[in-house]
Amino acid sequence: MEMTTEELAPGVAVLRCTGRLNMVAAKQFRSHIDETVRGGHRKVAVDLGGVSFIDSSGLGALVGGLKSARQAGGDLRIAAAGDQVRSVLELTNLARVLRPHDSVESATDGW
Amino acid sequence: MAGERSYAVEQVAAPESIDSLHDLLARVARENPEVPRDDLSMMETAVIEIAGNLVEHGRPPGEVTYRFDLTLHADRLEGVLADSGEELPGGLTDLVEVDVMSESGRGLFLADAVLDTLVYRRTDAANIWSMTRRYR
């Protein structure tokens, strides 16, 4: 999985991911979010447009990232999730806390 | 669909085996464009969870092997994963949904949720995970 971070505004970053967010990639993904938050970007939008697959480890990493961001006084939102990602978010009821936004623009609206 | 088609992969329960499973499912999709993508994707979700569980918790660690067989029927997908690990304590009886803010513990719950049926049974030397996903 490949990840890049871009600052959208002071304190706001978008994390773009490409590949499969599974148990092989989850730890690195979680570290990347934590580093982003520690680096002063308390509001993180995760662009999942390039993520073809997510498993429970990836879901756990997203929840962990959400907690990190909230503990720092910010938030984490997800954008551009594909069909498989949306399905597992719904089936695990995680869509309640990680509501999928259609685009990074809508995810970061109000930030 | 003309007749049934079957695919299989056999490997050690190591992290790399997860990629092999993804590759197998990608091959199935390429070779069988008539199989609904969403259903194949949900079968993929289930088998990755069960194999991932083995990679993380299979005992003895590093020694567990497994075989995954996938059969394409006219109306459904059937997957069977057989692993050499020790018996799953408590079987599949406690598939409870974890707290929404939990960072782990939703793997088998998710596998069950994406399937029509998930059945676990123990034979003399193996754990057998039978998965069915009917085409929507």
Angle between helices A83-91 and B37-57 (to 10 degrees): 60
Residue A27 tokens, joined? 């730890």
Residue A32 tokens, joined? 């990347």
Q: What is the mean predicted confidence (pLDDT) over B80-99?
A: 86
**A41 C-beta neighbours (distance < 10 Å), count:** 25
pLDDT at B1 over 60: no
pLDDT at B2 over 60: no
Select the residue of B44, B52, B103 nearest A23 (Cβ to Cβ). B52
Mutation to test the B interface, candidates A91, A94, A99, most B Cβ within 10 Å: A91
Positive or negative torsion for Cα B12, B15, B20, B22: positive
What's the pLDDT tens digit per position in A6-37?
A: 999 999 999 999 999 999 999 999 999 999 99
Mean pLDDT of chain B: 94
Q: Say how far apart CA A25 and CA B112 lie, in whole Å.
A: 23
Name the helix (H) or strand (E) containing B42.
helix B37-57
* Model confidence, pTM: 0.95
* Contact state of B19 with A92 under an 8 Å Cβ cutoff: no
What's the pLDDT tens digit per position in B100-122?
A: 999 999 999 999 999 999 999 99
What's the pLDDT tens digit per position in A45-84?
A: 999 999 999 999 999 999 999 999 999 999 999 999 999 9
